[in-house]
Amino acid sequence: MKEKISFLKNKIDLNSPNKNIVPVTTTIESNEKLYIGGCSIEDLVRKYDSPLYILDEITLRNSCRAYKKALEKHYPGVSLPIYASKANSSIFMSNLIASEGFGLDAVSEGELLTALKGGVPSEKIVFHGNNKSDEEIEFALENKIKIIVDNDHDLKRLEKISNSFNYDIEIMIRFTPGIECHTHEYIKTGSFDSKFGFGIEALNKLFVIISKTKHIKLTGLHAHIGSQIFELDPHNDLGKIMVDVILKAKKFGHNIKELNVGGGLGIKYTQEDDPPSIDAWIKTVSLSIVQACKQTKLDLPKLMCEPGRSIVSTAGVTIYKIGSFKEIPGIRTYLSVDGGMSDNPRPITYQSNYSACLVSNPFNNNSKNTFTVAGKHCESGDVLFKEIELGNCKTGDLICVFGTGAYNNSMSSNYNRIPRPASILVCNGEAEIIQRRESPLDLLKYDVLPNRFMK
Ligand SMILES: Cc1ncc(COP(=O)(O)O)c(C=O)c1O
């Protein structure tokens, strides 16, 4: 029974936070209560209310530093780690990753603006997207942000702009390398059914088209093969494929100087998960590119990678307050919390699993019960845990869900007009707000009653 929460007794890997379930500063103090970043979770909820997103600064910085260190160790050429801001976008996150020397990838004007306001230098930002608006493209160009061309529509618009203003635009192109990845398996296919990027089979034609433009300079390649990946082989294959594409492009006169291998390294959400370390992932990517360049006598390109989840997920937890209980004899007991699918849409969207514990009894030090943890939304599928063992608990007790730093806040909604939680940063016993809690009134801000409905 106790195994279910034994993750709290795992040795913490300080160098590769994605291999832990909990933030690296997690402690259970002598009062048997949960602390993160030196802060009592109970005290934080007393001050900031619940549900509450918490980010641990030391875990974030350790993750960034692990990427930097591994690139310095394994890649002899120039490199730049780029944070995939879709994982968790805020002025704070932009500022923190910039302070660690990271670049940032964005997919909308909102994410671009957040990066710039947070202090990420524009030359370290790249702009993705399979359906960029004209305004977004203009915004990126005005701010000298590198555009990753995803399709013909992007290319045509950039060509038109570069011709009308008579200036060169350096681009990267995104292509689908024919590697399809899931957490525990991957397949290689001739082409890949994806809405993103050019098919690998279409590249020769594309290289000809770009050669014929006056001002478009193709200088970089991008590929991203999936997320929450535990195997290293797919990224080993990706490195080789990308170097192969550099050679192909060369035949058409394009000098590719930058390779962006995307993100995708998995994290440990539950005891069953065993992702590679950040060092092992970077080593694989680096070696495959270095070897392929050596064999083909190519200069090493600048290596970029785009981790999102493995930077921010383990640093984040969400705290909920327990409300109602409903026992259905012989079937299950529902325990409902004060958040759910609006602050964490991953369980209902992807059937994602997490680990959790009671804040005031993390080791379940009394009888254990199996609960179904439900959210408060008007949706039967709004369930955070189908089955979890927790010690005795009652209305008002707190639950901490681990690994919620990525794709929770950034994918949150106001479904059922539920305001988004506050986000708090913790470090060395201090807590500071990084995103204010929304209020029900905030949610009315954009509602308008047409004149003729007003008396
Ligand atoms: C283009 C691109 N780069 C990077 C990432 C980040 O992936 P992850 O969070 O798995 O590291 C994603 C996420 O899907 C992506 O689409």
* CATH number of 65's domain: 3.20.20.10
Task: Please give the Cα distance from 51 to 269 (Å, whole number).
Answer: 20
In angstroms, how far is the first alpha carbon of the chain from the final one? 63
**Active-site annotation, residues:** 378
Amino acid at 340: G
With 60 as the cut, is the pLDDT of residue 1 above it? no
Task: Please give the Cα distance from 211 to 234 (Å, whole number).
Answer: 31
Q: Per-residue confidence at 364, pLDDT binned at 50, 70, 90?
A: confident
What pLDDT, on a 0 to 100 scale, did the predictor assign at position 320? 98
| CATH (domain of 378) | 2.40.37.10
Looking at the fold, whether 253 and 343 belong to one and the same domain comes out as no
pLDDT per residue as tens digits for the range 247-305: 999 999 999 999 999 999 999 999 999 999 999 999 999 999 999 999 999 999 999 99
Instruction: Tell me if 307 CB under 6 Å of ligand 1.
Output: yes
Instruction: Tell me if 308 CB under 6 Å of ligand 1.
Output: yes
What pLDDT, on a 0 to 100 scale, did the predictor assign at position 186? 64
Please check whether residue 366 lies inside any domain of the structure. yes
Instruction: Tell me if 309 CB under 6 Å of ligand 1.
Output: yes
Last residue of a domain, one of 284, 309, 334: 309
Please state whether the peptide bond connecting residue 121 to the residue before it is cis, i.e. omega within 30 degrees of 0.
no
What pLDDT, on a 0 to 100 scale, did the predictor assign at position 31? 80
With 60 as the cut, is the pLDDT of residue 4 above it? no
Residue nearest to atom 5 of ligand 1 (CA): 263
Last residue of a domain, one of 264, 289, 309: 309
- Say if CB 218 and CB 254 are below 8 A apart: yes
Looking at the fold, whether 165 and 245 belong to one and the same domain comes out as yes
- State which residues form the domain around 154: 58-309
Copy the structure tokens of residue 374.
């439900």
- Quote the ligand 1 centre to 160 CA distance (angstroms): 29
- Say if CB 36 and CB 49 are below 8 A apart: no
Spatial CB neighbours of 424, under 8 Å, sequence gap ≥ 6: 44, 48, 52, 53, 54, 55, 431, 432, 433, 434
What pLDDT, on a 0 to 100 scale, did the predictor assign at position 367? 75
Of 338, 421, 348, the residue nearest 385 (C-alpha): 348
Please check whether residue 38 lies inside any domain of the structure. yes
With 60 as the cut, is the pLDDT of residue 363 above it? yes
Q: Per-residue confidence at 185, pLDDT binned at 50, 70, 90?
A: low
Residue with tokens 């998960």: 273
With 60 as the cut, is the pLDDT of residue 378 above it? yes
What pLDDT, on a 0 to 100 scale, did the predictor assign at position 182? 63
- Quote the ligand 1 centre to 430 CA distance (angstroms): 31
Please check whether residue 106 lies inside any domain of the structure. yes
Looking at the fold, whether 199 and 102 belong to one and the same domain comes out as yes
Looking at the fold, whether 198 and 95 belong to one and the same domain comes out as yes
Residue nearest to atom 12 of ligand 1 (CA): 263
Amino acid at 309: R
Instruction: Tell me if 397 CB under 6 Å of ligand 1.
Output: no
Average pLDDT over residues 173-188: 77
Looking at the fold, whether 69 and 38 belong to one and the same domain comes out as no
Average pLDDT over residues 314-325: 98
**Sign of the dihedral through C-alpha 93, 94, 96, 100:** positive
Q: Which of 131, 306, 309, 312 to mutate to test the pocket of ligand 1 (most atoms within 8 A of CB)?
A: 306
Average pLDDT over residues 106-120: 98
The SS3 of residue 386 is strand
Instruction: Tell me if 51 CB under 6 Å of ligand 1.
Output: no
Please check whether residue 454 lies inside any domain of the structure. no
Please check whether residue 452 lies inside any domain of the structure. no
Looking at the fold, whether 266 and 361 belong to one and the same domain comes out as no
% the chain with pLDDT above 90: 91
Looking at the fold, whether 47 and 188 belong to one and the same domain comes out as no
Please check whether residue 391 lies inside any domain of the structure. yes
Number of domains in the chain: 2
- Say if CB 258 and CB 205 are below 8 A apart: no
Residue with tokens 């009653």: 449
- Say if CB 335 and CB 372 are below 8 A apart: yes
Copy the structure tokens of residue 242.
């990308």
pLDDT per residue as tens digits for the range 201-257: 999 999 999 999 999 999 999 999 999 999 999 999 999 999 999 999 999 999 999
Please check whether residue 451 lies inside any domain of the structure. no
**238 C-beta neighbours (distance < 10 Å), count:** 25
Of 82, 88, 87, the residue nearest 103 (C-alpha): 82
DSSP summary character for residue 399: E
Spatial CB neighbours of 156, under 8 Å, sequence gap ≥ 6: none
> pTM for the full model?
0.96
Which atom belonging to ligand 1 lies closest to the Cα atom of 128?
1
Copy the structure tokens of residue 320.
């909920």
Q: 27-31, 246-250, 370-374: which range is least confident on average?
A: 27-31
With 60 as the cut, is the pLDDT of residue 190 above it? no
What pLDDT, on a 0 to 100 scale, did the predictor assign at position 251? 97
Looking at the fold, whether 130 and 252 belong to one and the same domain comes out as yes
Looking at the fold, whether 221 and 243 belong to one and the same domain comes out as yes
Task: Please give the Cα distance from 111 to 105 (Å, whole number).
Answer: 8
The torsion angle over the Cα atoms of residues 302, 308, 311 and 316, rounded to 10 degrees, is: 170
Instruction: Tell me if 266 CB under 6 Å of ligand 1.
Output: no
- Say if CB 91 and CB 114 are below 8 A apart: yes
Pairing, β 79-84 against β 103-106? parallel
**55 C-beta neighbours (distance < 10 Å), count:** 28
Instruction: Tell me if 82 CB under 6 Å of ligand 1.
Output: no
Looking at the fold, whether 273 and 371 belong to one and the same domain comes out as no
- Quote the ligand 1 centre to 236 CA distance (angstroms): 17
Please check whether residue 139 lies inside any domain of the structure. yes
Looking at the fold, whether 237 and 382 belong to one and the same domain comes out as no
Instruction: Tell me if 150 CB under 6 Å of ligand 1.
Output: no
Q: Per-residue confidence at 180, pLDDT binned at 50, 70, 90?
A: confident
Last residue of a domain, one of 279, 309, 339: 309
pLDDT per residue as tens digits for the range 394-418: 999 999 999 999 999 999 999 999 9
Looking at the fold, whether 425 and 280 belong to one and the same domain comes out as no
- Say if CB 275 and CB 264 are below 8 A apart: no
Question: Looking at per-residue confidence, does 192 or 383 come out higher?
Answer: 383
Q: Which of 63, 64, 82, 86 to mutate to test the pocket of ligand 1 (most atoms within 8 A of CB)?
A: 86
